[in-house]
Amino acid sequence: MGIVGWGRVWMSANALILGLGNLCVAAATIGCVFALIAAALALRFGARREHSQIAPHEQPSVTILKPLCGQEPDLLTRLLGFAHQCYAGTVQIVFGSQHRTDPAMDVVKRLETLRPDLAIDVAVEPRGFGTNRKVLNLVNMAPLAHNDVIVLSDSDIEVDPTYLADVIAELQRPGVGAVTCLYHGIAGEGIWSRLSAMSINSYFLANVVVGRSMGLAQPCFGATIALRRETLEEIGGFEAFADCLADDYEIGVAVRALGYEVAVPPFSVGHVCFERTAGELVRHQIRQSRTIRTIDPVGYAGATLSHPFALALIGALLGSPLGLLVAALAVVCRTVETIAIERAFALERQPYWLIPFRDLIAFTTFVSGFFGTTVSWRGSRYRVLSDGSVVQRSN
């Protein structure tokens, strides 16, 4: 091939690279518009903050299931939040762990000392079937539940005193088979937990609000799932989800399959973030990414547009002349979106200067979600199968 031929190949390659760069910038521009739409929808969602109410004498007895696993910062404070509820009905709390030496059991003993008047039961049982250890806990805890209304909630969830009354009021509405709650991030100590909380507040919440507003998302989150005992029995009990990675989502699918609504009230509960290192943050977000991809691969691919800052930077690196300008615009739009989420859910102000760093980490873990099938969860490694079930791997 002569010089002229090589020159044409070079020009064609450059044109292809520039075209890819311009495509990334175009996608980033759409992502900026998406961020502004998400901001507007979040503010509209927040305007619905009035809660359903039922009279105190109509509040049924409730059992709260709290699966526990290991030492968590300020666990006692969060458990006290569930113990101190403005709720007229009888409340029982059942805690579960697989090991009697679990440090979380010491926290439960302290709670029993502080609230001797509260009905507390504990299930400690390492045996059971299934890969999902949280569900194994729930299976062992369920026989101790005395009441016909059951509320399960993860150990890292923080609630206010009206939480139980608000959730049960939603469950009492006609046609509702279960209630779940959105959740916002609460940063623990250190920069990595702060970035994790920002991921929830400025990315997760925005995407869920848009999905709900457009009828594209049907969520069910482990932050809260409230349902009646008969509904739980109709979907096969917790045993039916013993091998599911996204057990909370699958419970929602099963409830809807019975013809019931899974209600999402217009408020959020707190999710405390404990990530102490970059590795913990990345592993956590990769698990979330691969879980979402398993649940909804098409929607997951479409979420590429929700990363305008990273897309614009890629476009700039590929030679697009508008790349850096759109990257700056993306930061502005993402900041507007974050402020709207704060106002909609009454959150504390986020460190806006971290938005570009958070977005780059989120994009990296988002891309990794397309590849690989291994996730880390509570110190164990699992392989995700095509049907969403998991098998444990040796470390």
Co-location of 244 and 111 in the same domain? yes
Question: Residue 9 domain-assigned?
Answer: no
Domain boundary among 279, 300, 319: 279
Co-location of 120 and 152 in the same domain? yes
Which pLDDT score is estimated for 101? Answer: 85
Co-location of 126 and 250 in the same domain? yes
Co-location of 354 and 287 in the same domain? yes
Co-location of 160 and 272 in the same domain? yes
Residues across the chain: 395
Co-location of 68 and 42 in the same domain? no
Question: Residue 8 domain-assigned?
Answer: no
d(CA 208, CA 230): 29
Question: Residue 387 domain-assigned?
Answer: no
* Residue 195 CA, distance from chain mean position: 15
Which pLDDT score is estimated for 12? Answer: 60
Question: Residue 352 domain-assigned?
Answer: yes
| φ, ψ dihedrals at 54, nearest 5° | -130, 150
185's enclosing H/E stretch is: strand 182-187
**Domain, as residue range, for 68:** 56-279
Which pLDDT score is estimated for 386? Answer: 66
Co-location of 272 and 287 in the same domain? no
Residue range 376-395, pLDDT digits in tens: 666 667 677 666 666 666 55
Angstrom CA distances, 87 to 99, 118, 191, 295, stand at: 31, 13, 37, 35
Co-location of 40 and 80 in the same domain? no
* Residue 56 CA, distance from chain mean position: 31
Long-range pairs, 329-332, Cβ under 8 A, ≥24: 329/29, 329/32, 330/28, 330/31, 330/32, 330/35, 330/359, 331/355, 331/356
Angle (CA) 232-222-83 rounded to 5° is 90
Copy the structure tokens of residue 109: 């003993």
Max CA distance (Å), the chain = 90
Residue with tokens 């397309």: 370
Copy the structure tokens of residue 375: 């996730």
Copy the structure tokens of residue 299: 């929607």
d(CA 326, CA 332): 10
d(CA 361, CA 278): 10
User: Number of folded domains in the chain?
Assistant: 2
Co-location of 204 and 352 in the same domain? no
Which pLDDT score is estimated for 4? Answer: 47
Co-location of 42 and 130 in the same domain? no
Co-location of 63 and 30 in the same domain? no
Question: Residue 13 domain-assigned?
Answer: no
Low-confidence ranges of the chain (pLDDT < 70): 1-13, 15, 47-57, 128, 375-380, 382, 385-395
Co-location of 130 and 173 in the same domain? yes
Using CB atoms within 10 Å of the CB of residue 88, give its burial: 0 to 12 exposed, 13 to 18 middle, 19+ buried.
middle
Domain boundary among 279, 309, 339: 279
Question: Residue 41 domain-assigned?
Answer: yes
Domain boundary among 279, 296, 312: 279
d(CA 260, CA 265): 15
Four-residue CA torsion sign, 305, 307, 310, 316:
positive
Which pLDDT score is estimated for 161? Answer: 93
Residues 310, 311, 312, 315, Cα dihedral to 10°: 120
Question: Residue 7 domain-assigned?
Answer: no
Long-range pairs, 57-61, Cβ under 8 A, ≥24: 57/88, 58/172, 59/87, 59/88, 59/89, 59/165, 59/168, 60/89, 60/147, 60/148, 60/149, 60/168, 61/89, 61/90, 61/91, 61/92, 61/146, 61/147, 61/148, 61/149
CATH number at residue 140: 3.90.550.10
Question: Residue 385 domain-assigned?
Answer: no
- SS3 of residue 142 by DSSP: helix
| φ, ψ dihedrals at 204, nearest 5° | -60, -55
